[in-house]
Amino acid sequence: MLESQRLNYRNLLSDFFFPSFCVGCCRPGVFLCYSCLQKIHSPKSQTCLYCQGNSYLGITHKNCFKSHCLSGVFSLFNYSGVAAKVLKYAKFKTNKQVLKEGLWASVEPGIWSTMNDYLKVFRFDVITFIPLYKADLSQRSFNQSQELAMSIGSLLNIPVVNFLEKTRTTPKQSSLNFKDRRLNLLNAFSLIKINKKELVRKRILVVDDVVTTGATMSEAGKTLLDGGAREIFGLSLLRA
C-alpha cells in the first residue's frame, strides 16, 4: 500500500472516530484544542509510590520497599482535569483511537526517553496489565490498560501475557478513602491457570491506566509474587 493511501485511510478513520469538539472544553473543531493540550503534563520527576518522595525512574526507596511489594512505578502524565477527560472519553465511548492519539500524541519528548530508560534498565521479562471484571469488559469492549501494555510490548518486543483475572466487581476506587481502597481490592485478583507457569521467577511490568494510592497495582503485584514472580514493577498512564 502506498504511503499516501495509508495516510488517507488514517484520516478517514480519525474523522470517523474523533469527536468534532474538544474533549477538554467542548470548543468545536478539534479533538483537543491548543489550550487544553497545554494542560496535559508529564511529571518533572518520578516519585516513590509509597512516600511520594523523588526517586530516580520511580524506583521504590529501599526503606519503603521493606513493607511493600512493588519495586517501582513509572507514570507518563500527571493527573489533570483534561487528561482525565480524555481517558474517560476513551473509556466510555469505547474509543481506543481517542486514547492512543489523544494522550499518546501529547507525550512530552523528555518523558519518552525517561520511560525508555525505565523500560530498558530493568529488562522486563514479560508485561501484564490490570484486568477488568468480565462483565465490565463486555460492556466496554476493550481494556485501556491492555491496549497500553500491547503498545509497549510491541515497541520493545516483550511478550504481553494476561496473568490476572478480576474475581469480583468492586466499587470505584475514586469513591473510597485510603484504607477502604485497600480493603476494596483485597483478594480481588486471581491468577489465570493456563498462563500461571510463565510468571515463575520473572521480572514483570504491570500496566494500569491510573495510579492513585497504588492499592490496585499493589494487590495485583502481591498476587503475582504469590504465584512465584521474582519482581514487580508498574507503569501507569496517569498518576494522581
- Which residue ranges make up the site for Zn ion (CB under 5 A)? 22, 24-25, 27, 33, 36, 48, 50-51, 53, 61, 64
- The smaller minimum CB distance to Zn ion, of residues 47 and 190, is found at 47
Instruction: Give the other-Cβ count within 10 Å of 194's Cβ.
Output: 8
Q: Is residue 9 within 8 Å of residue 17, measured between CB atoms? A: no
Shortest Cβ 62–Zn ion spacing (Å):
9
14 in helix, strand or coil? helix
Instruction: Give the other-Cβ count within 10 Å of 92's Cβ.
Output: 10
Shortest Cβ 60–Zn ion spacing (Å):
6
Q: Rounded to the nearest 5 degrees, what angle is found at the Cα of 42, between the Cα atoms of 117 and 45?
A: 60
How far apart CA 238 and CA 155 sit, in angstroms, is 20
- The smaller minimum CB distance to Zn ion, of residues 54 and 167, is found at 54
C-alpha cell, 29: 473543531
Count of H-run helices and E-run strands, the chain: 10, 6
Shortest Cβ 49–Zn ion spacing (Å):
8
- The smaller minimum CB distance to Zn ion, of residues 98 and 161, is found at 98
How far apart CA 189 and CA 200 sit, in angstroms, is 17
For cell 516513590, name the residue.
48
Q: Compute CA 64 distance to the chain's CA centroid, rounded to the nearest angstrom.
A: 22
- The smaller minimum CB distance to Zn ion, of residues 30 and 137, is found at 30
Tell me which residue of 146, 78, 162, 152 sits closest to 122, measured CA to CA: 152
164 in helix, strand or coil? strand
- The smaller minimum CB distance to Zn ion, of residues 54 and 169, is found at 54
- The smaller minimum CB distance to Zn ion, of residues 50 and 189, is found at 50
